[in-house]
C-alpha cells in the first residue's frame, strides 16, 4: 500500500468541499475518519456513510454544511450524543465533535468530554478505523495515522489503538466488531487482542441482544462466515449468546462408533450456502439446521448413534433462540423454522424419488422449495468424492421430479378443488366434523396420486367418500 501521505483523490465527492468551506467559515478543523478512509485505502466499494469529526461542535458544523448545500437537507440532531446527521446525494453524513471518553464498568455508554483529534482517535476501536483525512485548507487530504493503521492494513491485522483490555472492557461490543471485521476483510486479529477478548468475554453480557445480532448478521453475510464463528467460539463469546450451536461441538465414541462434529459441519454448511445465496435468513437456517441434534443424541447398540426427530426439535428451538436474542418473531423466524423442520426431507427423498413423496414435499414447502433444495445441497459436506457426486446427482433427479410433478399436478400453494361450503350445500350440512374429514380425504387422495388436482375428479371422490360416511345428497 502506498505510503503517500496525501489522499486528495479520496475526497472527490462534492460534499467534502462543502464541509471544508463550512469548517473554514466556523474556524474549526474537520476530518473524515473511520470506515470511509479504511475502505478507500483497501479499494473496497465506497462507503455510503461517512463520519466527520470537528474540533468543536459537530452539530454546528452539520447545520452550517446544510446551509451551504444546494439541496438544503434536513439536519437530524442527537443532543444526547452530541452528534448530527444529514443526507446529501448518495451519502449519509454524521458529524461529531472530537471527544475523549471514560466508561463505567456496568455500561457501554461513556462519560464524554470535549477533546482533540488525538483524543478522538484514541477512543476508536481499531487502528484501521482511527485513520483520518484532513478537510482543512492548509493540509487538505493529509492522512493522520497516529497508531500505524496503514501498516496494519498492509499486514491485514486487527489491532486496538490502546491496551486491548481497556478497549474491550470499556465497550465490549468492540470484541464482536473485531471478529466481524476480521471475517469481512479476511484479516487476522492480533494475538494480544484475541487473548484479551477471551479474558473479557463475560463483559459481552452488558450489550443488548439487538446489537449482538447486528454483528452476527454481518458475520453471516460475509463471504466465509465460518471464520467469524470459529473466532467467536475460540474466544468464549459464542457460548454466551448461541449455546445451542456450541452444544454441537465435539465427537463422542462408544464401542468404536463415532458421530461427526456437528458444530464444524454446521459451519461448513453455512460456508457452502454463502456461495449460492445472499438470503440472510437462509444462512441462519443453515447455521441452525442441526441444533436439534444435541438434545436428541442417543447411542443404540444395534444401529449406533441416532438423532431421532432432531429436525422437529430444532425447529422448536429456533423460536426460543429468536425470542431470547430479540430477533423478529414474524415470517422470517417462521421461514427459518420451516427450513430446519424440512431440512432432511429432500435427502431422504433422494434415495427413492416417488411422485407422491415429491407432491408432499411441494405441498409442505410451497414457494420455499428452491430455498430448501439450496440448503440441502449445501448440507453435503462429505469429503468422499464418489459420495459427494452421488448426492448431487440424486438432487438433480429430485429437482427434475419437482418440476415435472408441479407442472402436472399444481400442488404448490395448494388450494382444495372442493370447498367446505360446497360440501355443506351438496349434503345439506351445518358445520360438522364430516366436512373436515372429506376435505382431508380429498387432499390425501391428490397427494397420493389417486386422483388429479381438478374439480371433476375431486367432486366424484367427494361423493364416494360422503357415501361411506352415510351422507346423502340434497
pLDDT over 70 at 164, yes or no: yes
Say which residue the cell 425447529 belongs to. 315
> Which has the minimum average pLDDT: 82-86, 116-120, 193-197?
116-120
252 is written with which cell numbers? 463422542
Q: What's the rounded Cα separation, in Å, for the pair 402 and 339?
A: 17
pLDDT (0 to 100) of residue 107: 57
pLDDT over 80 at 257, yes or no: no
User: Are domains 8-154 and 156-241 of this chain identical in fold?
Assistant: no
66 is written with which cell numbers? 446544510
Is the domain 156-241 a CATH 2.40.37.10 member? Answer: no
Distance of CA 44 to the CA centre of its chain: 21
Q: What's the rounded Cα separation, in Å, for the pair 133 and 41?
A: 11
Q: What's the rounded Cα separation, in Å, for the pair 145 and 151?
A: 10
CB-based contact 366:453 (threshold 8 Å) = no
Say which residue the cell 476530518 belongs to. 31
Q: What's the rounded Cα separation, in Å, for the pair 198 and 175?
A: 9
pLDDT (0 to 100) of residue 66: 96
- pLDDT tens digits, residue range 128-150? 999 999 999 999 999 999 999 99
Q: What is the mean pLDDT of residues 80-109?
A: 80
DSSP string, 405-441: HHHHH--TT---SS-HHHHHHHHT--S-HHHHHHHHH
Q: Residue 106's CB: how many other CB atoms inside 10 A?
A: 8
pLDDT (0 to 100) of residue 195: 97
Distance of CA 71 to the CA centre of its chain: 35
- Burial tier of 180 (Cβ tally within 10 Å: 0-12, 13-18, 19+): buried
Higher pLDDT, 435 or 80: 435
CA nearest to 446, candidates 412, 423, 398, 395: 412
pLDDT (0 to 100) of residue 112: 62
CA dist 354 to 99, 347, 348, 359, 376, Å? 68, 13, 11, 9, 18
Q: For the chain, which residues make up each domain, given as ranges?
A: 8-154, 156-241, 420-468
Q: What is the mean pLDDT of residues 335-357?
A: 86
> Which has the minimum average pLDDT: 99-108, 263-272, 342-351, 461-470?
99-108
* DSSP symbol at 116: -
pLDDT (0 to 100) of residue 286: 98
pLDDT (0 to 100) of residue 1: 47
What is the fold of 8-154? Beta Polymerase; domain 2 (3.30.460)
CB-based contact 39:28 (threshold 8 Å) = no
Is residue 2 very low, low, confident or very high in pLDDT (cuts 50, 70, 90)? very low
Say which residue the cell 438544503 belongs to. 72
Mean of per-residue pLDDT scores for the chain? 91
Beta-bridge mates of residue 70: none
Q: Residue 105's CB: how many other CB atoms inside 10 A?
A: 8
Distance of CA 280 to the CA centre of its chain: 4
**Residues belonging to the chain:** 474
pLDDT over 50 at 395, yes or no: yes
Amino acid at each position: 500500500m502506498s505510503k503517500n501521505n496525501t489522499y486528495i483523490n479520496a475526497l472527490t465527492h462534492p460534499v467534502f468541499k462543502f464541509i471544508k468551506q463550512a469548517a473554514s467559515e466556523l474556524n474549526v478543523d474537520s476530518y473524515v475518519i473511520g470506515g470511509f478512509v479504511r475502505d478507500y485505502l483497501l479499494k473496497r466499494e465506497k462507503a455510503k456513510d461517512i463520519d466527520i469529526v470537528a474540533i468543536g461542535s459537530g452539530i454546528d458544523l452539520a447545520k452550517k454544511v446544510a446551509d451551504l448545500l444546494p439541496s438544503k437537507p434536513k439536519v437530524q440532531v442527537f443532543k444526547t450524543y452530541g452528534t448530527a446527521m444529514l443526507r446529501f446525494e448518495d451519502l449519509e453524513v454524521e458529524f461529531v465533535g472530537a471527544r475523549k471518553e471514560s466508561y463505567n464498568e456496568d455500561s457501554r455508554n461513556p462519560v464524554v468530554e470535549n477533546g482533540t483529534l488525538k483524543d478522538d482517535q484514541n477512543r476508536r476501536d481499531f487502528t484501521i478505523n482511527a485513520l483520518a483525512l484532513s478537510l482543512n485548507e492548509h493540509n487538505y487530504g493529509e492522512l493522520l495515522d497516529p497508531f500505524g493503521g496503514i501498516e496494519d492494513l498492509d499486514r491485514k491485522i486487527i489491532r486496538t489503538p490502546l491496551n486491548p483490555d481497556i478497549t474491550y472492557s470499556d465497550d465490549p461490543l468492540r470484541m464482536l466488531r473485531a471478529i466481524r471485521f476480521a471475517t469481512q476483510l479476511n484479516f487476522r486479529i492480533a494475538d494480544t487482542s484475541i487473548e484479551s477478548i477471551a479474558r473479557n468475554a463475560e463483559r459481552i453480557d452488558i450489550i443488548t441482544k439487538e446489537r449482538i445480532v447486528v454483528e452476527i448478521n454481518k458475520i453471516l453475510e460475509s463471504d466465509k462466515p465460518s471464520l467469524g464463528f470459529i473466532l467467536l467460539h475460540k474466544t468464549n463469546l459464542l457460548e454466551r449468546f448461541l449455546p445451542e450451536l456450541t452444544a454441537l461441538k465435539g465427537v463422542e465414541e462408544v464401542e468404536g462408533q463415532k458421530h461427526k462434529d456437528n458444530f464444524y459441519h454446521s459451519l461448513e454448511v453455512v460456508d457452502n450456502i454463502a456461495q449460492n445465496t445472499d438470503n440472510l435468513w437462509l444462512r441462519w437456517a443453515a447455521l441452525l439446521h442441526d441444533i436439534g441434534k444435541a438434545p436428541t443424541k442417543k447411542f443404540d447398540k444395534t444401529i449406533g448413534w441416532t438423532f431421532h426427530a432432531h429436525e422437529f426439535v430444532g425447529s422448536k428451538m429456533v423460536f426460543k433462540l429468536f425470542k431470547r436474542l430479540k430477533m423478529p418473531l414474524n415470517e422470517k423466524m417462521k421461514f427459518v423454522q420451516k427450513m430446519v423442520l424440512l431440512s432432511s426431507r429432500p435427502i431422504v427423498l433422494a434415495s427413492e424419488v416417488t411422485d407422491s413423496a415429491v407432491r408432499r414435499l411441494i405441498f409442505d414447502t410451497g414457494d420455499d422449495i428452491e430455498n430448501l433444495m439450496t440448503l440441502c445441497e449445501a448440507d453435503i459436506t462429505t469429503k468422499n468424492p464418489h459420495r459427494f457426486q452421488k448426492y448431487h446427482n440424486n438432487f438433480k433427479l429430485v429437482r427434475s421430479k419437482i418440476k415435472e410433478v408441479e407442472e402436472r399436478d399444481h400442488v404448490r400453494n395448494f388450494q382444495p378443488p372442493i370447498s367446505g361450503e360446497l360440501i355443506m350445500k351438496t349434503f345439506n350440512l351445518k358445520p360438522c366434523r364430516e366436512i373436515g374429514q372429506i376435505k382431508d380425504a380429498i387432499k390425501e387422495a391428490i397427494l397420493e396420486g389417486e386422483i388429479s388436482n381438478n374439480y371433476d375428479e375431486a367432486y366424484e371422490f367427494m361423493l364416494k367418500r360422503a357415501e361411506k360416511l352415510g351422507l346423502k345428497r340434497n
